[in-house]
């Protein structure tokens, strides 16, 4: 049976957008990690009977009638949506859902508080979260959450139809998943990927230490702000500034061309497959390494990262317990992937059952659908890694300047059109009024 799925995603997995366009129009939803789980969800649902359309993150209640007419189900993969600064968007999404007549499936959502699950911190968002859950459960059998902290929170709000299913990103390869350490120990010449959250100040001494010790270290960035810095340099007010974290072009990791960022998951996964170890505070940076086959280690600094590490048995430490002089070689040595590997089939069976309960197909159980998806990925030419502007040739920088000039010209034309339209309307109204007066004589 043909199934028309509206999938909450900023873009589809085969929508190719340049790095410049990605930055200008925010095609990553502030963080490229969003694409990892939304594209994995797209693959999971890509059966021969499914027609999947990305929502572009629109959540306008005025679209409800059109959605009811055009789609059979609205699938919503989410990250840490139960947090203070997401409240307004959660309310908009709730208002849209309340007007929908089709099933609504939440494919993984998480709460954000500290690693101790501070309940009092969440009080201000209780009511918006309750309204969202009620709206979803009026159209769904249950809500899929990312881990035990989120499940516990929703149960304290009075909801029992809650299931832990993790994050779709870890199921990109179905039930076939294994991570192995290929080296007994890490040495200074090995390739390390540091997945840094630039706002976690406690990372500063780790950045300094690993930059000095590991010449083949690369910082794998994910944020929209860093993408802008890579493409165009520092913002005017930040030029000449320095910081111990890599947030300015003056930082050694920028100056030495050791920063990379991808605007699509697939080349990112391929790139990370060539590393010996990945570590840091980014949960989807760590997961991207793991699904590439590279051992990863998470430094958990909040509940959203911690609960996914626990759910999937990803090797981790709490960031507050990490000594300032800890070395990646020590983290690599203590990392044990036995539970992650051995528990994967059961976790995959759990999300498979969740999809079946909500009448959603699974590409891995639909002939060669998953294989065809992978083949289309291989045929698609995605933008390469974005590197610091200083690493580019004159020709590459000139092409970027020309793109900016063309973009500015297009914007100016749009502004002229917008200004001209009201003027045309005024003229039309004035002429119409004059004609009416003449006819009435």
Looking at the DSSP bridge assignments, the partners of residue 297 are: 279
134 and 196 housed in the same domain: no
Sign of CA dihedral 243, 246, 247, 250: positive
Q: What is the pLDDT of residue 420?
A: 62
CATH number at residue 364: 3.40.50
Residue 387 included in any domain: no
Q: What is the pLDDT of residues 2-52, one digit of tens each?
A: 999 999 999 999 999 999 999 999 999 999 999 999 999 999 999 999 999
Q: Are residues 321 and 370 in the same domain?
A: no
Same domain, 332 and 357: no
| Same domain assignment for residues 127 and 148 | yes
What pLDDT is attached to residue 440?
A: 41
In this predicted structure, the answer to whether residue 423 has a pLDDT above a threshold of 70 is: no
Residues 197, 280 within the same domain: yes
Q: Of residues 31 and 1, which shows the higher confidence score?
A: 31
Question: Which stretches of 15-76 are DSSP H helices?
Answer: 19-25, 33-45, 64-70
Contact 110, 304 (CB under 8 A): yes
> Who's near 423: CB < 8 A, 6+ residues apart?
none
Q: What is the average per-residue pLDDT within 396-410?
A: 80
Low-confidence winner among 13-17, 29-33, 342-346, 408-412 (lowest mean pLDDT): 408-412
Same domain, 45 and 81: yes
Distance separating alpha carbons of residues 255 and 146, to the nearest angstrom: 38
Question: What domain range is 327 assigned to?
Answer: 192-338
Identify whether residues 346 and 334 lie together within a single domain. Answer: no
Whether residue 438 is contained in a domain is answered as no
Of 74, 157, 73, which is closest to residue 111 (Cα–Cα)? Answer: 157
Choosing from 275, 309, 338, the residue where a domain stops is: 338
Same domain, 367 and 425: no
Please tell me whether residue 261 adopts helix, strand or coil conformation: strand
Across 202-219, average pLDDT: 97
Kindly provide the b/e burial profile for residues 52-85, where b requires at least 16 CB atoms within 10 angstroms of the residue's own CB: bebbebebeeebbeebeeebbbbbbbbbbbbbee
164 plus 55 within the same structural domain: yes
- What is the Cα gyration radius of the chain? 24
In a domain, 257, yes or no: yes
The reported pLDDT for the residue numbered 349 is 98
Q: Quote the number of domains for the chain.
A: 3
Give the residue carrying structure tokens 């010790």: 213
Residues 122 and 264 in one domain: no
For the cut 80, the answer to whether the pLDDT of residue 417 exceeds it is: no
227 shares its domain with 256:
yes
Q: What confidence score (pLDDT) does residue 439 get?
A: 38
Asked if residue 103 lies in contact with residue 73, where contact means CB atoms within 8 angstroms, the answer is: yes
d(CA 27, CA 22): 5
Identify whether residues 27 and 129 lie together within a single domain: yes
Give the pLDDT of residue 410.
79
Tokens, residue 41: 């969800």
- DSSP 3-state assignment of 3? strand
Please return the burial class of 94, using the count of CB atoms within 10 Å of its CB with bins 0-12, 13-18 and 19+: buried
At residue 123, the pLDDT reads: 96
Express each pLDDT in 146-185 by its tens digit: 999 999 999 999 999 999 999 999 999 999 999 999 999 9
Q: Do the domain assignments include residue 254?
A: yes
DSSP character at residue 99: T
Q: In what order do the strands lie in the sheet with 192-195?
A: 259-261, 217-221, 192-195, 277-280, 296-300, 316-318
Tokens of 329: 């070689």
């Amino acid at each position: 049976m043909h199934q028309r799925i509206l999938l909450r995603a900023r873009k589809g997995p085969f929508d190719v957008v340049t790095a410049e366009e990605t930055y200008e129009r925010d095609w990553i939803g502030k963080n490229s990690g969003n694409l990892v789980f939304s594209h994995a969800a797209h693959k999971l649902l890509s059966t021969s009977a499914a027609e999947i359309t990305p929502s572009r993150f629109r959540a306008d209640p005025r679209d409800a009638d059109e959605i009811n007419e055009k789609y059979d189900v609205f699938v919503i993969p989410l990250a840490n949506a139960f947090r203070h600064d997401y409240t307004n968007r959660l309310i908009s999404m709730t208002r849209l859902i309340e007007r929908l007549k089709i099933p609504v499936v939440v494919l993984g959502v998480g709460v954000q508080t500290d690693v101790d699950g501070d309940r009092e911190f969440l009080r201000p968002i209780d009511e918006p979260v309750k309204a969202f859950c009620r709206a979803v459960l009026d159209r769904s059998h249950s809500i899929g959450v990312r881990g035990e902290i989120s499940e516990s929170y929703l149960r304290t709000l009075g909801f029992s139809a809650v299931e832990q299913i993790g994050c779709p990103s870890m199921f990109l390869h179905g039930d076939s998943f294994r991570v192995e350490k290929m080296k007994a120990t890490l040495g200074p010449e090995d390739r390390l990927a540091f997945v840094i959250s630039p706002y976690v100040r406690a990372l500063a001494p780790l950045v300094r230490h690993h930059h000095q010790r590991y010449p083949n270290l690369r910082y794998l960035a994910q944020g929209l702000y860093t993408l802008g810095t890579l493409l165009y340099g520092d913002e005017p007010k930040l030029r000449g500034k320095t910081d111990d974290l890599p947030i300015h072009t003056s930082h050694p990791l920028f100056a030495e061309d050791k920063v990379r960022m991808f605007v699509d998951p697939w080349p990112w996964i391929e790139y990370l497959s060539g590393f010996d170890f990945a570590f840091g505070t980014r949960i989807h940076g760590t997961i991207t390494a793991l699904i590439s086959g590279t051992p990863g280690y998470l430094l958990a600094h909040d509940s959203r990262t911690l609960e996914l590490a626990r759910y999937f048995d990803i090797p981790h430490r709490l960031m507050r317990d990490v000594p300032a002089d800890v070395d990646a070689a020590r983290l690599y040595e203590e990392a044990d992937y036995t539970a992650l590997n051995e528990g994967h089939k059961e976790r995959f069976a759990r999300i498979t059952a969740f999809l079946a309960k909500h009448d959603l197909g699974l590409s891995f159980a639909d002939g060669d659908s998953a294989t065809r998806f992978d083949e289309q990925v291989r045929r698609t030419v995605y933008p390469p890694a974005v590197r610091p502007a200083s690493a580019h040739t004159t020709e590459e920088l000139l092409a970027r300047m020309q793109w900016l000039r063309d973009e500015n010209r297009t914007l100016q034309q749009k502004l002229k059109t917008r200004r001209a339209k009201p003027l045309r309307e005024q003229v039309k109204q004035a002429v119409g009024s004059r004609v009416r007066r003449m006819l009435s004589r």
